Amino acid sequence: MSRFGKVAVLMGGRSAEREVSLRSGGAVVAALRRQRVDAHPIDTGNEYLGQLARGGFSCAFIALHGRGGEDGTIQGALELLGLPYTGSGVLASALGMDKVRSKQLWRGVGLPTPAFRVMRDEGDTEAALDELGLPLMIKPVREGSSLGATRVAEKDQLAAAFREAAALDKEVLAERWIQGKELTVSILDGEALPAIGLETPRGFYDYAAKYQANDTRYLLPSGLPAAREQELQALSLAAFEALGASGWGRVDLMLDQAGAPWLLEINTVPGLTDHSLVPMAAKAAGIDFDALVLRILETTGL
């Protein structure tokens, strides 16, 4: 594995997803070292650009989630340093982190995504309600792991939901709620992995369902007919590529009660923890965790 040289595994950071990122990064370092890759953890919550510039690294494995790591910021810094890195580039990372701009782009190329409205102050909530009706999903435009996200079923819940999301972002997304089956499709090096169905008693797949709860159900196989799952894999790959994303990632979507698909968002640096979805999908495709991590590292081009 000497062909990879000295690998910086970037983790932690300063986003609201710091703790999840530290878990992902720790798992990546352990997996790489098991395969005799010279992997070094670097917490980007501290001064780190000097470490990267002077550390003799050949490439970077990005295990950062949220702002500063998944939004094009660290990708731009690595471009300036001339260090190859895993996953999507600057533009695709920024688009993927921005739920509104990604939905606008999907809509522009004819891909299905739920109706939405951007809210910038509490006064916008009435217009969103009039336009979209209830129930609604309210969430920050640039945040991950369902942080600040709330399902609103009653009008009197809307203001509080807006304030919770606005505490994390100056722009808040109001999205028409899709009732149906929640699914996610992982992407690895241009290939869509098996779809995973998600079921939780919490109302939707929120932060607790993702990282804390033991009652979340992961349906793998998804339970869909093979032809239908292939259609969703193709749609997810098209959505991923429409934003210019590359290397690896995950696309989240819904199937409504009539069976129509709706794209929700993409994740350009998904989690790699023991609760994470990409490792589950990879395992179903015959790729164990260590092999998955190595496949992702290979997206640096080394």
pLDDT digits (tens, 9 = 90+) for 96-110: 999 999 999 999 999
- For CATH 3.30.470.20, the residue range(s) in the chain are 95-112+179-298
Question: How much is the average pLDDT of 83-94?
Answer: 97
Tell me, yes or no, if 19 is annotated catalytic: no
| Active-site annotation holder among 66, 169, 265, 276 | 265
Q: Is the pLDDT of residue 209 over 60?
A: no
pLDDT at position 53 is 95
Residue in the block written with tokens 């709860």: 213
Yes or no: say if 185 and 234 are a contact pair by the CB < 8 Å rule. no
Give the pLDDT confidence of 104-163 residue by residue, as tens digits: 999 999 999 999 999 999 999 999 999 999 999 999 999 876 788 999 999 999 999 999
Kindly indicate whether the domain formed by 2-86 is annotated with CATH number 3.30.40.230.
Answer: no
pLDDT at 212 over 60: no
265 assigned to active site: yes
Outline where 16-124 has alpha helix (H). 18-34, 49-54, 73-81, 90-97, 99-108
Q: Is the dihedral of CA 169, 104, 134, 121 positive or negative?
A: positive
pLDDT of 271 strictly over 90: yes
- What b/e readout covers 115-141, taking b as 16+ CB neighbours within 10 angstroms? ebbebeeeeebeebbeebeebbbbbbb
Catalytic residue among 88, 145, 222, 236: 145
CA-to-CA distance for 51 and 41, rounded, in angstroms?
Answer: 11
Which one from 17, 70, 143, 169 is the annotated catalytic residue? 17
CATH architecture, range 116-176: 2-Layer Sandwich (3.30)
31-44 pLDDT tens trace: 999 999 999 999 99
Q: Which CATH number fits domain 95-112+179-298: 3.30.2040.10, 3.90.950.20, 3.30.420.40, 3.30.470.20?
A: 3.30.470.20
Order of strands, sheet of 59-62, starting from the edge strand that comes earlier in the sequence: 38-43, 6-11, 59-62
Q: What is the mean pLDDT of the chain?
A: 93
Considering only residues 33 and 209, tell me which one the structure prediction assigns the higher pLDDT. 33
pLDDT of 208? 54
Task: State yes or no: is 301 an active-site residue.
Answer: no
**Shortest CA distance to 198 belongs to which of 158, 146, 141?**
146
Residue 1 pLDDT more than 70? no
Does residue 203 register a pLDDT over 80? no
Q: What mean pLDDT do residues 209-219 have?
A: 71
Please list the residue range(s) of the chain that carry CATH number 3.30.1490.20: 116-176
- Kindly name the residue from 211, 222, 246, 249 that is annotated as catalytic: 211
Partners of 119 in beta bridges: 172
3-state class of 152 per DSSP? strand
Among 61, 43, 21, CA closest to 299: 61
- What pLDDT does residue 159 have? 94
CATH 3.40.50.20 domain span(s) along the chain? 2-86
Among residues 89, 176, 250, 276, the one annotated as catalytic is 250
Residues composing the chain: 302
Is residue 69 a contact partner of residue 44, using CB atoms and an 8 Å limit? Answer: yes
Question: In 10 A of CB 80, how many CB atoms?
Answer: 9
User: Is the Cβ–Cβ distance between 86 and 62 less than 8 Å?
Assistant: yes
Mean pLDDT of 281-300: 96
17 in active site? yes
Q: Is 55 a catalytic residue?
A: no
